[in-house]
Amino acid sequence: MPLPLSHISPPALPIATGLVLALGAFSMQPASAEPRTYEIDPEHFSIGFLTEHVGYADTLGMFLEGQGEFVYDEQTRELHSGRVEIATDSVFTNHEERDNHLRSNDFLDARRYSTIVFEVTDFEARSDSEGTLEGELTLLGETRPLTLDVTLNKADVYPFGHGQHTLGLSARTTIARSDWGMTYGVDNGMVGDEVELILELEAIRQ
């Protein structure tokens, strides 16, 4: 169920996303030359992360609830704005005790910071299908710059279901969580400081 924008308490945590809005400079075949709003389909929005656990193996997790939208002109390839929101208490690693620990103030502090937020600030294309997305990630009350590598996988009319023009996107980045003040388990090597963020999404033109 999409999160209402009013649910966000400033500053919140993000993960971003969308980080998504990276589409900014990709070549596509638009139906019209004007900025349009694109909404991320919550049924096709996967928000994953990987981090090291005591040096044995990486723990793979997800956030199960997220939403976002952006304003983009496919003909001029200009990205006008974009925002992604993720519910911190939707974290899931397939282990209830660990998930509750992640929601605590050792990590996400979900009671105080209920939403993760990523705001787009800029985009630079490297090719017709790849580029670098700049933005700001708010986590644990701290806002820091974040850069994502984004790939446009497909831009076309959806072949079934809603039947609307849709963009398919993948985004990747790695953060040091300690930069946002999340230091639990870093000094003793129990939990990795670096967290790989993995975003896969479909965005529907409105």
What's the pLDDT tens digit per position in 105-125? 999 999 999 999 999 999 888
What's the pLDDT tens digit per position in 46-66? 999 999 999 999 999 999 999
Q: What is the CATH number of the domain that holds 113?
A: 2.40.128.110
Residues 117, 95 contacting (CB under 8 angstroms): no
pLDDT at position 19 over 60:
no
* This prediction's pTM: 0.82
Q: How many CB atoms lie within 10 A of CB 148?
A: 27
What's the pLDDT tens digit per position in 72-84? 888 777 788 899 9
**Residue 183 lies in domain:** 5-205
What's the pLDDT tens digit per position in 160-173? 999 999 999 999 99
Confidence (pLDDT) at 60: 98
Residues 205, 41 contacting (CB under 8 angstroms): no
Confidence (pLDDT) at 33: 63
Confidence (pLDDT) at 101: 98
Tally the C-alpha atoms within 13 A of residue 193's C-alpha that lie toward its C-beta.
10
Number of domains in the chain: 1
